[in-house]
Chains A and B, each alone.
Chain A
Amino acid sequence: KAGVTQTPRYLIKTRGQQVTLSCSPISGHRSVSWYQQTPGQGLQFLFEYFSETQRNKGNFPGRFSGRQFSNSRSEMNVSTLELGDSALYLCASSAGTGVEQFFGPGTRLTVL
């Protein structure tokens, strides 16, 4: 089976812009979770989607949003980018029955 794929791998944006990141889960997996990874805060949970519905949400401002499509692919959007949004954004997929999560390679976002 192919693993989790994320596009793009690298992004450079300026403050105030918005960005959309994409994640394709492992075939058959219906749950997609997003995490933000920074040197200072580590891995922090953003939100989780299961069957096109947001099932859980972390403690991030409303500028961070996401959605999931009927084929389980997911996108996350960050509006009005701030310098502090620079991070590695990781997507993880799960079959949904347990919590074994398998991560993609991440999207490295740099906000200038």
Chain B
Amino acid sequence: GENVEQHPSTLSVQEGDSAVIKCTYSDSASNYFPWYKQELGKGPQLIIDIRSNVGEKKDQRIAVTLNKTAKHFSLHITETQPEDSAVYFCAAPPREYSTLTFGKGTMLLVSP
């Protein structure tokens, strides 16, 4: 099955800095890579995703890059704000394509 590794497990940045979270996956057939943000007491919220036919996707201050050859993808958050503080999860689908295997999560703390 799919194996997803996520790094770092915790990340502290100052407001206005950039943050980068990286994930690797094992199944070369995976073609969809979402990122979720989970705030305390809430369920994960889909914030951005990318399919394997593109290498990068942006949405305002967040972007995701994908390197299919190396089997890794990254989340980039620019101009971080305190409200970006949360746990971020990457995920990839195993061959069944209707489920998701999640990374262990990254706790992002943005200090004012």
Identify whether the interface residues of A are mostly helix, strand, loop, or mixed.
strand
The one of A42, A48, A106 that contacts B98, using a Cβ cutoff of 8 Å: A48
Binding site for A on B (CB under 8 A): 32, 34, 36, 41-46, 49, 89, 93, 96-105
Contacts of B41 in A (CB 8 A): 105
B89 adjacent to A99 (CB under 8 Å): no
Answer whether A42 and B102 are a contact pair too, CB < 8 Å, given A100-B46, A105-B42, A106-B43: yes
Q: How large is the interface on A (under 10, 10 to 19, 20 to 34, 35 or more residues)?
A: 20 to 34
A56 adjacent to B99 (CB under 8 Å): yes
Contacts of A42 in B (CB 8 A): 89, 102-105
CA distance A102 to B42 in the complex (A): 12
Determine the residue in chain B with the shortest Cβ distance to A47: B99
Binding site for B on A (CB under 8 A): 4, 31, 33, 35, 42-45, 48, 50, 55-56, 58, 90, 94, 96, 98-106
> Distance in Å from the Cβ of B59 to the closest Cβ of chain A?
14
Contacts of B99 in A (CB 8 A): 33, 45, 48, 56, 58, 99
> Distance in Å from the Cβ of A15 to the closest Cβ of chain B?
26
